[in-house]
Amino acid sequence: MEKNKGGRPKIELNSKDAEIFGHFKATFETMAEYYGCSVKTIQRTMQDEESEFCQSYKKALAKSKLKLSEAQWKCAIEKLNPTILIWLGKNHLGQSDGGQEITIKEPVKIQFVEEKQNENNENTIPDNSESESV
């Protein structure tokens, strides 16, 4: 007859659940509620980088982030969503709202060019010799 070791029975945390948790970025508190264990139990498991549970959670979380990023890019580019385009420009291209002041010490010559239509009714820009300068 085996002697009772005492304490709570060991909780089995499985990798399939971890994938679902990772996909939705579940908190330690949510996972603990689901399993009926303490938050510390989940924390200890997640600190063990080599545990199957931890690896499954992190892999699913990474996949979820990639899907979200893909959706943002598609929305920005295919639908030309200006808000997302600006956000992506700032976060991925280092762009900012802060304009730069430029001081020009010499006068600048500006030329205005009128478009003309050719015989195929296509708009064209004429040579500089035909444009007016101001």
In a domain, 10, yes or no: no
pTM: 0.61
Residue 129 within a domain: no
Report if residue 99 sits inside a domain: no
What is the number of structural domains in the chain?
1
The domain in which residue 35 lies consists of 15-93
Instruction: Flag whether 50 is in a domain.
Output: yes
CB 84 within 8 A of CB 75: yes
In a domain, 23, yes or no: yes
User: Could you read off the pLDDT tens digit of each residue along the chain, which spans 134 residues?
Assistant: 555 577 778 889 999 999 999 999 999 999 999 999 999 999 999 999 999 999 999 999 999 999 999 999 999 989 999 999 998 889 888 888 877 676 777 877 777 777 666 777 676 665 555 444 44
The Cα–Cα gap between 69 and 59 comes to 15
Q: Is residue 29 part of a domain?
A: yes
Q: Does residue 19 lie in a domain region?
A: yes
